[in-house]
Amino acid sequence: MKQLIVIAFFLFTGNLFAQTPCDYSSNVTDSIGTYKSTKEYLMSEKIFAGNSSYIFYSLALTDGLPTLNVQLIQKSKGFLKANCFDKNSKLFLQLNNGKIITMIHIDQENCGTMLRDENGFDNRVTSGIFMFMKGSLEDLKSSPFSMMRIKYLTESEDYVIRKEFKSELNSQVYEPDTYFIKNLRCVE
């Protein structure tokens, strides 16, 4: 009887900690190389006074090099300030264990694209690709993070990363603080 209880315990706890399968938006191997990218995940959402901004992450693996794709979407009927990425842009993540992870932007300038929707809103979509520094992947796999700072071409902006929130955009629940813990395995 004791053995049956032990076996049942391990089966039950194994199911609790089972990892969800990786969800890719792209997974291509051809004569040029390999590329796979996870689906975009909402990390930050701000909606106030008719203005909204969203930050999405996705992880990519290009010929063995893992990167973080960051997409910023701003929506407003008023003026939208351009936050540009350039070769000096950085992304800083403050982990809950006290460490700060620095990621470097690739050498490509991007100030976003403006689009006007059918409701008269201006939308700016800005994308950036950041490279992981040596040794940072292990730290990101082991600790949640609570703050993000993005250094743009002309200024820096801080974002508080919530443990959990329900998006007003699509009513889904997101857990951004553990994004790397749950998803880095998908690009290794």
pTM of the model: 0.85
Per-residue model confidence (pLDDT) at position 158:
96
CA–CA distance, 41 with 167 (Å, rounded to integer): 11
Q: Where are the domains of the chain?
A: 2-183
- With cut-offs at 50, 70 and 90, classify the pLDDT of residue 31: confident
Q: What are the tens digits of pLDDT across the range 113-149?
A: 999 888 888 999 999 999 999 989 999 999 999 999 9
DSSP code for 110? B
Q: Where are the alpha helices (DSSP H) in the chain?
A: 2-16, 136-142, 179-183
3-state class (DSSP) for residue 121: coil
Q: What are the tens digits of pLDDT across the range 87-111?
A: 999 999 999 999 999 999 998 999 9
132: nearest Cα among 70, 56, 52: 70
User: Would you state the structure tokens that stand for residue 134, as one six-digit string?
Assistant: 């040596």
